Amino acid sequence: MEKLTIAIDGFSSCGKSTIAKALASELGYNYVDTGAMYRAVTLYCIKQGWILDHNIDKEKLVKYLSKIHIKFKFNSETKLSETYLNDQNVEREIRSMEISDHVSKVSAIKEVRHKLVKLQQEMGKDKGVVMDGRDIGTVVFPDADLKLFMTADIDIRVYRRYDELTSKGEKVTFNEVKENLSKRDFDDTNRKDNPLRKAEDAIVLDNSDLNKQQQLDFVVKIIKDYHLLNPGE
């Protein structure tokens, strides 16, 4: 069977990366976490001192954007792809609450999106890829073979994110996480360039009451049905 391009979009902390990783492993496809790319740019800005009081020095960021190099490397021990920023492994650093507080504003900058969209398209040009983010099915790969739009109840998403952060030792409260997610939802859906929205031909996956295996089974069935309807692919 010909390999597919699978685009997964959706809100923060609704499990996009979890199902995307599992699906890529199941199919033997490459996995690209586009959210990690925007987080890496945000980390670079913080390290350069370009974010102060929630204000981003856009001029500096755009000027030095060419110095930001992002790639993924497979970790043979964890069996996961990890994010590298200028040849440094930043996988753990980019998952912090501090990064979450600023990433939506960084990702709203037109020049940043244009740079990363081109890189994402290059990463997925040969198909056999599962890519998750906010604008994969609408902008990066509008002709993707399969598009999913993931969502979940806000409180469930907050609990998931809260558990993830506290398990890593972060000192956060439930209300802080909820405020952060609500703000990110607003920023992601209201930004001028490439806002988060469901592609018209995307299949909705509400995983509020589904575990990881149930989600994977749901998507695998869709893929099997796709190949039955498109036997030449």
* Cross-strand bridge partners of residue 9: 133, 149
Hey, CA dihedral for 155, 160, 163, 166, is it positive or negative? negative
**pLDDT at res. 231:** 66
Kind of pairing, strands 30-33 and 55-56? Answer: unpaired
Average pLDDT along the chain: 93
Q: What is the mean pLDDT of residues 64-81?
A: 89
pLDDT the model gives residue 54: 84
Tokens of 13: 């902390």
**CATH tag, 5-211:** 3.40.50.300
Return the structure tokens found at 175.
């209300």
Q: Is the pLDDT reported for residue 69 higher than 90? A: yes
Q: What confidence category does residue 34 fall into, taking pLDDT thresholds of 50, 70 and 90?
A: very high
- The mean pLDDT of 99-113, rounded to a whole number, is 94
Residue 120 has what pLDDT? 96
The band of 214, judged by pLDDT with boundaries at 50, 70 and 90, is very high
- Note the pLDDT of residue 230: 74
Beta strand spans in the chain (E): 5-10, 30-33, 51-52, 55-56, 70-75, 80-85, 88-89, 129-133, 146-151, 203-206
Tokens of 102: 């600023």
Quick check: 114 pLDDT over 80? yes
- Count of beta carbons in the 10 Å neighbourhood of residue 155: 12
Q: Where are the domains of the chain?
A: 5-211
Cα–Cα dist 215/88, whole Å = 33
Q: How far out from the chain centre does Cα 19 lie? A: 11
The arithmetic mean of pLDDT across residues 153-161, rounded, is 96
pLDDT-based confidence at 102, cuts 50/70/90? very high
Stretch 53-62: mean pLDDT: 94
| Residue 45 and residue 56 in contact, taking contact as beta carbons nearer than 8 Å | yes
Mean per-residue pLDDT for 163-174? 92
pLDDT tens for residues 118-137? 999 999 999 999 999 999 99
What DSSP character marks residue 139? Answer: I
Is the CB of residue 72 less than 8 Å from the CB of residue 82?
yes
CB distance 44 to 64 below 8 Å: no
Cβ contact 9:199 at 8 Å: yes
